Each structure stands twice: as C-alpha cells, then as structure tokens.
Structure 1
C-alpha cells in the first residue's frame, strides 16, 4: 500500500493498470475503516471524570478496542467493568474484562454476558459514572430474553429475521421488545448513576435506538410496531414470544423506570465519516468522489444492478460527472433467503458485487470494491471482494457461471476461486458496509 498514485486527472484511463486500480480501491477502503478506529477518535469524546467510581460496560464488534482505547486515554482513572465482543474480536485490556460471544446468532455466552453487565451496573450511586461502549453487533452479543422466553427461542427468532429480508432497523425493533436489557433497560438498571454512552454507528440513519438495539436508549417503538414487522415478513414466532408481544400491545403504555438526568450519548464514528475519509483519498488522486449516501438499504443484488447503471452513465455520458469518478455508499443491504433454498457461502457485499459484475457484462473502465468495515461479510472470513472488467471472463475460463453462483447465494465461493476476496481480518471497529465503484 505504499505505492504513491499520480493524480488521475493527469493520468489517462489506459495508464490505470488492474493492479494500480486494486491498490487505489484498497487505499480508499482502508482509509474508511481507519477513520472509525477507537484509538483515533474515542479520547476526544470522553465525559468529565467522575467523583465516584467509573464503571465501563459495552457490547459490539468494537467493544474490546473501545475499552482498550479508553484505558489508554484515562490511565489515571481507576476503571472497572466488563464488555462483550464477537469471537475473534477481543484484545488485551488492563482492568476491563473482555468477554466473547457468538454473532450474528446469539449463544449461551451472549446471555451470560448480558447478565454480567446488568449486575455490574447495579447498586451504584449518584456520584458514579457508567461509560457504555456500544457498537454494531451488540444485539446478538447481549441476548438476555424477556421473562418467559428461552434463549433457544431467541436464537430461532434471530435466524428467521436474518433470512427474512427485514432491515436492521426492523430486526432490532423486534429484538428490543423481546429483551430484558435492550431498549434502555441497561440505563434504567444503572440508576441513579450517570450513564455516558459512546457509540460507533453501523446502521442507516445512525439511530442510537437501533445500534445494538439501544441498551441505554429509551425505546420509542411499541409492541404493535414489532407485531407489524412480524406480519410484514410472514414470520412465525414461538408461542411465548407471540404471546408476550400481543400482551404488551394490548396494555396501555406505562411510564418507563427512571434514568439519571445527566445521561448523555455521543456518536464517535459513523458511516458518513468513513465515506468522507475514502473521498479524501479519491480527491488526492484526482478522482471525483460522489457520495450517494450512508444509509442505503434494499436487496443486495438489486443494488448491484442499480450501481452498474450509474457507473455506465458516468462512463458513456459523463453524467452526473465525467470520469474519472468513484461512487461511494454505505448502509446495509439485505440478502433474502426464500423458503426451501439452501444458500451457499456469501454475504451482502459479495452478492452486491457479483450482481454488479453480471450487469456490467465486462464493461471496460469500471471496477468496484465492497466490504464490511468490521472485516467480516456475513458469516465468512472475508470483508468483501473486488471486481473489474475481466471478472466474468476470468470466471468463465475456470468454468464458473456467475449467474449460477448468484442464484445459489454463493458469491463468496465465486470470488474465492478467482482469488478476488478482500481479506482484512477483524478490524475491531464497525461502521457498516463500504461500497466503492470506480469509473475511468
């Protein structure tokens, strides 16, 4: 990554070799991820140091790195507490315990971590401070079912939601109403201690109630909202969960338990900040960045087709800008697995790219990289992948049909055969997906 890039404005398209383009795309992606590193951003958002105890709790893919960054920023403050992160995302800390649990489907460790965190904030006083470190992935990692619902039932619901095509906002609405810790219940348990929540956003719109299902954020949705989502996607809930939602929906909404008046919530990293960091890399190379938004949703394959059309418009018509240009977007698309389908290996980003490549059909001068900023696209070990004008032709020489792989939701396997996966390992942060489409 140390190769310097001559500004594209003084560099004809034919001088951009495939290897040069790959380096450039990876530089933009890495810059986007680096902009969300807790070690780069957390220290400047810390609250005033407390007079009493300082308790640290947290959940998410970035929870361990956020805890380590907090310890580095406050070496003179006695810190205690516990955070939970995804398997493989832990890192060393001095005094804050780091637990690991399963993601995206919770396990018994997720339930125990939630119990540990709730117990950690109980019995505090008004002079004490709770710092809650929240990032994407916390919904699965803090899986404490509401009374009457078993963990196995929660896991069944999580799997069904993941395959339903529901958005992250919709999934987390349901999760909050079936939880004993989400939807502000963690902040309520900490009362009368003050809670300062530091958030790395991974959701469209940066709604703090959606990120990790908002354990310290008052829930403004209702059980009826959750039931509407269940009906929309024709989901069959376990009887206990269905009964709980129907019971709550039929009861007049009660006042929530108290929280401290001095509670605060601060976004320390967001998808838009990450896209701006990637855009800065593009500008320095003389490439015009077009940020299409940080909250794009919808079916991954449909998004791939849409982006291919926009890229063609730039190349063929110079609209909305002339090449060289790069389309940047964030957010979280979905991959819907229909009943009876047996999907292969893949994730949102590799499915987006394979659909994009198929739609482009070898169009010259267009490359794309898409990846999850946490380093894990879906459940596989790649952040995402990269395509170029020769992707389909290379696959065909190996006997690979992009159409067949796409139908099987097996995009990971396709790009693995081409050695075009983007491998970063766990990045210890998470600002959702980063999509980059370069037009020369």
Structure 2
C-alpha cells in the first residue's frame, strides 16, 4: 500500500534507499557468490575499493581455513576493527590519492610478488580504487599523480575519460596488476560503479586491458606526462559482475511494487552535468502520469575556482527542486549508494516542491548555490540532506522520482 503524508513519504523513500544498498552489500554479494563457487584449496584475497572491507568479510565468512592471507585497501573514513585478524588492512585517501594511497600501491605490488604461483588469488574490486591504490609509472612522480587526480576531479569529465587518463600514468592500473601475476591463477569479483560495458574503468582496470578510445582534451602539462604511453599485453583474467547500476534499479523497483503505483525502471545510464540532469529528470516526472521512476548513474560537476559544499547528488537534487517548486505531489531522492556524496559526508538529499522555499531562509539562493557548487549548504538550510555514513557497497548514484495522483 502506498504510504501517505509528506513526512511519511520522505521516510519511505529513505527506507527503500537504505534497504536496497544493504541488500547489495559487498559482504552479502561475495558470500553468496562463494557459497555457489567455493574454494576447496588454499587461496588469497586482495580487496580494493570503497566496499573492500565488506567484501573481504564475505570472503572470510565463507572461505574458512582455505583462505590463507588477505590485503584490504579501504577508505580512511572506514574503521577496520571488524576485519579478520588474518587480513592486513591499509587505509587510504579518497577522492584524491595521498600518502596512504601510495603506501597501499606499494603494498599491493609487494603482495602480488609474494603470492605462491600454485595458489589462486581472489580479487574483490569496487569503485574508489583509483584513488585508494596508486603508484606512479616510470617517469611520473607521486606529486604528478596527485596533481593529475586533482585536475580530473574538477574537470567535468565522465568516469570513463577520467580513468582513461589515470591508466596512462599508473603502475597499478590498466592491466598492470594482471601482468604482475606471472601465471598465478586469479579471478575478480566486482561491484561496479561504472557505465555498462565499461568494466575496465572500474578502479581504473587493474586486471583488465586499458580502456580503448582517444584521450579527452588535456592541459599541456598532463599531455607531456602521458607522452607516448603504450600498454604491454595483458592476460585475460576472469571477472564476475556481482552488482551494478541495473541491479540497483531492479532492487529498488521490487521494493516499491506494493505502493499501488506504476514503477518505471529507466534503462539509461545517467551522465553529464548534474544540474542539467536534475532539471531533465524533474520535468520527466512532472509530465508523466503518477508513478515511481528509478534511475542510476554518475553525473558530473565542473567545479568553479572557489567551490562550496556538496556533491553531484546534491547538485542534481537542488536543480530538480527548482523545477518542482510549488508542486505538492512530487518527491525526489538522489543519493550515493556508498553513502557519500562529495567531501561533506552527506549521502545526497530528498527534495520536494517546498525545498526552495525552505532553503531560501539561509544565506544562499538556489541559483547561486548551483552556480557555486554549493548545493549542500542550501539543502542543509532546507533540512533536506541525507546523512547515513558509509555503506557496505558502491554501485552508482540512485535517483527515485515519486509522483502521486493529484488530490
């Protein structure tokens, strides 16, 4: 049955979001896979990404005595207290690589070199690995890599182009770790936060050949660093996709089936400028019959020279809220599946037709907040921010548009 009342509706959207990301946790997804595909002899684990700790827990839960060693590279914000004692855990920086990221990169290279050639490696890969694990290739410094990552972060480029550049400058990306296996058997389990068909972009593809295609336009100083980069041949390492954007959309749709409203799973990958996408999605819902629309993807924000507080989900949500102003029967949720959207620690926002009016009591107009990439400050004044802390997964941003029948 469809919930009623504005407060209840907002709470129900939040409940759907939280339950969906919990169902797609790294621990649960890895454990379910390994129950069906068990190891019956010694194996080792390398886990990298925002969901690395959770995925490693799933491997330990099922692997038992066969699991001989593990290395986990995880974000600084996550506590490793629950990690198995047999695992080495290394915290690292995100979204920009820092000292921990470079320590992690060296540790991964050393770990790969220490593997027994007759004992398989299970790699657990999730988004965020591009920043968390880094090592410069010959002729590139750690300072160079940090500067490139920083430029890419504010460039407005999509994740595929961003990681296409990163692969050219790194000793752990674009198949570099696959080439380090030296015949050791390996397979990779993935929680994907990249577009369909672009798995080499996940964590910049450490175990897959580099992304094809041309590099995007770059500043001269980055082009000089890239030089005439050419990748060595990369062995084919089997990858298993545990969950991705389509999985997330379908999970949410299943959870909304009893709301007595049509559920429309939108089979598209959202990308492009977050504010533009937010306005388009709001107009789609406003023009459609009553129902629930479910999207996922990863938009971008081109940062001004002096940017404010917020992330791409908050930017998208505020732009949608501008289009919804005065509407009493439409609600939007835009949140990161990893529980984090930008540097503030918020996951995103739930907005409605009164968001702009509520937020205007603060220091900013909605228009200025969008222009200055400061949507978080405006949405905070409106009371619309979502804060749940890091989740145990990372499979894109989730957007739900809810339109009720007119009263």
Tell me the TM-score normalized by structure 2: 0.93
SS of the equivalent of 2:122 reads: strand
Structure 1 residue runs of 5 or longer lacking an equivalent are: 1-6
Q: Is 1:333 matched up with 2:299?
A: yes
SS of the equivalent of 2:196 reads: helix
Structure 2 counterpart of 1:55 = 44
Give a deviation string over 1:383-402, Cα, whole Å, max 9, x none. 00111121122223456421
Q: Is 1:299 matched up with 2:273?
A: yes
Match of 1:73 among 62, 70, 77: 62
Rounded Cα–Cα distance in structure 1 between residues aligned with 2:343 and 2:27: 26
SS of the equivalent of 1:80 reads: strand
SS of the equivalent of 1:161 reads: helix
Q: Is 1:26 matched up with 2:14?
A: yes
Q: Is 1:180 matched up with 2:171?
A: yes
Bigger radius of gyration: 1
Q: Is 1:287 matched up with 2:251?
A: no
Rounded Cα–Cα distance in structure 1 between residues aligned with 2:317 and 2:211: 36
Match of 1:405 among 323, 346, 369: 369
Rounded Cα–Cα distance in structure 1 between residues aligned with 2:48 and 2:149: 17
Rounded Cα–Cα distance in structure 1 between residues aligned with 2:238 and 2:40: 14
Give a deviation string over 1:22-43, Cα, whole Å, max 9, x none. 1221122113212321232212
Match of 1:245 among 226, 229, 234: 226
Structure 1 counterpart of 2:319 = 355
SS of the equivalent of 1:148 reads: coil
Structure 2 residue runs of 5 or longer lacking an equivalent are: none
Match of 2:396 among 419, 429, 432: 432
Match of 1:375 among 339, 358, 362: 339
> How do residues 247-326 of structure 1 correspond to structure 2 at under 5 angstroms?
247-248=228-229, 256=233, 259=235, 263-293=237-267, 295-314=269-288, 318=289, 323=290, 325-326=291-292
Q: CA deviation at 1:373?
A: 0.8
Q: Which has the higher contact order (CA 8 A, sep 6+)?
A: 1
> How do residues 146-225 of structure 1 correspond to structure 2 at under 5 angstroms?
146-205=137-196, 207-221=198-212, 225=214
Q: CA deviation at 1:152?
A: 1.2
Q: CA deviation at 1:244?
A: 4.7
SS of the equivalent of 1:358 reads: helix
Structure 2 counterpart of 1:3 = none
Quick check: 2:102–2:134 contact (8 Å CA) kept in 1? yes
Quick check: 1:144–1:180 contact (8 Å CA) kept in 2? yes
Q: CA deviation at 1:350?
A: 0.5
Quick check: 2:360–2:378 contact (8 Å CA) kept in 1? no
Structure 1 counterpart of 2:351 = 387
Q: 1:284 to 1:206 in 2, by over 3 A?
A: farther
Give a deviation string over 1:345-378, Cα, whole Å, max 9, x none. 1100110011111122222211111100111101
More displaced stretch, 283-292 vs 109-118: 283-292
SS of the equivalent of 1:132 reads: strand
Give a deviation string over 1:377-431, Cα, whole Å, max 9, x none. 0111100011112112222345642112122111111111222111110102101
SS of the equivalent of 2:228 reads: helix
CA RMSD, 1 decimal: 1.9
Q: CA deviation at 1:285?
A: 1.6
Rounded Cα–Cα distance in structure 2 between residues aligned with 1:96 and 1:216: 21
- Between the two proteins, the alignment pairs up a number of residues equal to 400
Q: 1:191 to 1:19 in 2, by over 3 A?
A: same
More displaced stretch, 419-428 vs 398-407: 398-407
SS of the equivalent of 2:373 reads: coil
Q: Is 1:108 matched up with 2:85?
A: no
> How do residues 415-426 of structure 1 correspond to structure 2 at under 5 angstroms?
415-426=379-390
SS of the equivalent of 1:211 reads: helix
More displaced stretch, 143-152 vs 23-32: 23-32
Quick check: 1:367–1:437 contact (8 Å CA) kept in 2? yes
Structure 2 counterpart of 1:235 = 219
